[in-house]
Amino acid sequence: MVEIRDFKTVAGGLPPEFRRYAKMVPAALGALVVVIVLFTSFITVAQDEVAVIQRFGLYDRTVTSGLHWKLPFGIESAKKVRVEFVYEEEFGTSTVTRDRRGSSRAAAGPRKDIATSQMLTGDLNIADVEWIVQFKIQDPYLYLFKVRDVRETLRNVAESVTRRIVGDRSVHEVVTVGRAEIATRVEQEMQAILDQYETGLEITTVQLKDVNPPAPVQPSFNEVNEARQEKERTTNEAREAYNKAIPEAKGTALRAVSEAEGYAIDRVNRANGDAQRFTALLREYRRAPEVTRKRLYLEAMAEILPTITNKYVIDERMRGILPLLDLGGAGVGKKREGGGKE
């Protein structure tokens, strides 16, 4: 085996046309070593990434975005993690496919996963649930070194928690009014379990995309929903009529009571006034009976006479009636119009 120090001796025994190229080999080897050092000593970390540096396979440090130096020749290696990217996992259906290395690509169309989507509810019915979980990598160290397969762990936790929460509710709650509350509970309990497992993940969103009863019973379920909606509509109409009639009746009753109270107060006041007036007249009558009698007579006649059309004056000493000449009557007018003498 030829040693390096004997390289010049070996090169000297080469043909002349190869000696010139043989002298360039050490320079080429030196340049290759420099290139390898340069390419293995610097790493570039993108804006939404961090790089986890390992020295001889052990965790050493974490660097943020920018250009960074590390030991060359495989002494230190770097694994880049996208900490600002929002990842997504679909359950019950899938619009992406993944190969064995974990890379994803768009599928030809959504694929139904009945084994995952169909769940037993608390009232022993079956609901077809499709949901998505969005998450971010919060701690790259935990994500890379604490759990062997973080994505598969996430899927198992999501399915377990969702099935348990759906199993505590009726199918009506799962399909209609309870979807938002179920999604919130799933997100909270998933985060607690993932933190306990030290996965380094942060759940950002849990959304129930499509929740339906199984296809064979869907027509019957729709009929039940229509009946419930009709019941709610009738109940709302009855409440509306009640809220309209009761205040109106109460208002009418209060108005009648107020009018009766006002009428009672008026009658009492009038009666008190009449009584006081009668008392005052009685007092004056006792003081001057004749004067009071004439005054009352004159006041009464002043009220009565203006309402009488034909008036007759009767003298108490006369036995007959004194006829009055109707100067303003129709007869005098007719004579004047006919040209007669007065």
Q: Which one is predicted more confidently, 254 or 291?
A: 254
Residue-level pLDDT at 280: 84
Q: Please give the C-alpha separations between residue 144 and each of 55, 139, 141, 160, 200, in angstroms, as whole numbers.
A: 15, 9, 5, 23, 9
pLDDT at 333 over 50: no
Beta bridge partners of 66: 45
pLDDT at 266 over 80: yes
pLDDT at 29 over 50: yes
Q: Output the pTM of the full model.
A: 0.57
Rounded CA-CA distance 291/296 in Å is 9
For residue 332, give every residue at least 6 positions away whose Cβ sits within 8 Å of its Cβ, in sequence order, or none: 326
Alpha carbon 287 to its chain's center: 87
pLDDT at 175 over 80: yes
**What average pLDDT does the segment 195-203 reach?**
96
Quote the tokens at residue 101: 């290395």
Residue-level pLDDT at 326: 55
Q: Which of 138, 133, 150, 43 is nearest to 82 (CA)?
A: 138
Q: Which one is predicted more confidently, 314 or 68?
A: 68
Residue-level pLDDT at 317: 66
Residue 194 near residue 186, CB atoms below 8 Å: no
Looking up tokens 């190869």, which residue turns up? Answer: 18
Beta bridge partners of 296: none
Residue-level pLDDT at 277: 85
**What average pLDDT does the segment 193-202 reach?**
96
Q: Is 146 helix (H, G, I), strand (E, B) or coil?
A: coil
Q: What is the DSSP letter of 179?
A: H
pLDDT at 268 over 80: yes
Angle, in degrees to the nearest 10, between helices 179-197 and 150-166: 140
Confidence of residue 4 (pLDDT cuts 50, 70, 90): very low
Angle, in degrees to the nearest 10, between helices 289-304 and 218-287: 130
Beta bridge partners of 89: 133
For the chain, how many residues are written? 342
For residue 209, give every residue at least 6 positions away whose Cβ sits within 8 Å of its Cβ, in sequence order, or none: 92, 93, 130, 131, 132
Least confident of 49-58, 67-76, 85-94, 211-220: 211-220
Q: Is 93 helix (H, G, I), strand (E, B) or coil?
A: strand
**b/e map 152-163, b = 16+ CB within 10 Å:** ebbbebbbebbe
**What average pLDDT does the segment 107-128 reach?**
82
Rounded CA-CA distance 169/209 in Å is 18
Q: Of all residues in the chain, what percent carry a pLDDT higher than 70?
A: 75
Mean of all residue pLDDT scores within the chain: 80
Which residue blocks in 13-53 are alpha helix, DSSP H? Answer: 16-22, 25-41
Angle at 95 between CA 91 and CA 101, to 5 degrees: 85
Rounded CA-CA distance 238/242 in Å is 6
pLDDT at 195 over 70: yes
Q: Please give the C-alpha separations between residue 10 and each of 21, 26, 53, 199, 231, in angstroms, as whole numbers.
A: 13, 14, 44, 59, 102
Quote the tokens at residue 25: 């080999």
